[in-house]
Amino acid sequence: MAFAIPLVEFSRLAPQLREAAGEATGEVAFTRESSLAVAGVRVEAELVLTCQRCMERLPWMLRSEGRAALVATAAEADRASDELETVFAEDHRISLRELVEEELLLALPLVPRHESEHDCAGPATDAQEAVQPAGDAPEETHRPFGQLAQLLKRQ
């Protein structure tokens, strides 16, 4: 079953987005495993997050695939195999939107950031460095290379 759901309709996801334009698209398929209903969800969405390093706009291509058991009780959740996510579904019914939103939230990065500091712009980078504990951190980073050089000379 294919779907296309506007991002603004995800009430829990939308507040975490910088821009809730666009939609999530993908497919859902239901199967039954050990007498539990299992939903297989494949979802794609072009999100716009906020980089936690520079606080600027961060386009994020989210692609995720997961399988979730629809459970109505804690006992059922225990029965679900460990490789399955579990989604609470009263009377074993869940809306497609809720199901897709669960998958999106699971796939969302905990601390979204540009891949490298060089992709970040603005003075926030300096602020980030100031937060790190002062001390001998830079020395520690260089020491392994110094030791390595000694080893090489000995051989």
Please give the residue ranges that form the binding site for Zn ion (CB under 5 A).
Answer: 51, 53-54, 114, 120
If the CB atoms of residues 123 and 146 are measured against Zn ion, the closer one turns out to be 123
If the CB atoms of residues 6 and 109 are measured against Zn ion, the closer one turns out to be 109
Q: Least CB distance from residue 107 to Zn ion, whole Å?
A: 20
- Cα distance between residue 91 and residue 71, in whole Å: 8
- Cα distance between residue 48 and residue 107, in whole Å: 14
Q: Least CB distance from residue 132 to Zn ion, whole Å?
A: 16
Q: Least CB distance from residue 90 to Zn ion, whole Å?
A: 40
- Cα distance between residue 42 and residue 6, in whole Å: 16
If the CB atoms of residues 25 and 128 are measured against Zn ion, the closer one turns out to be 128
Q: Least CB distance from residue 51 to Zn ion, whole Å?
A: 3
- Cα distance between residue 87 and residue 103, in whole Å: 10
CA torsion through residues 82, 67, 37, 11, sign: positive
- Cα distance between residue 126 and residue 112, in whole Å: 18
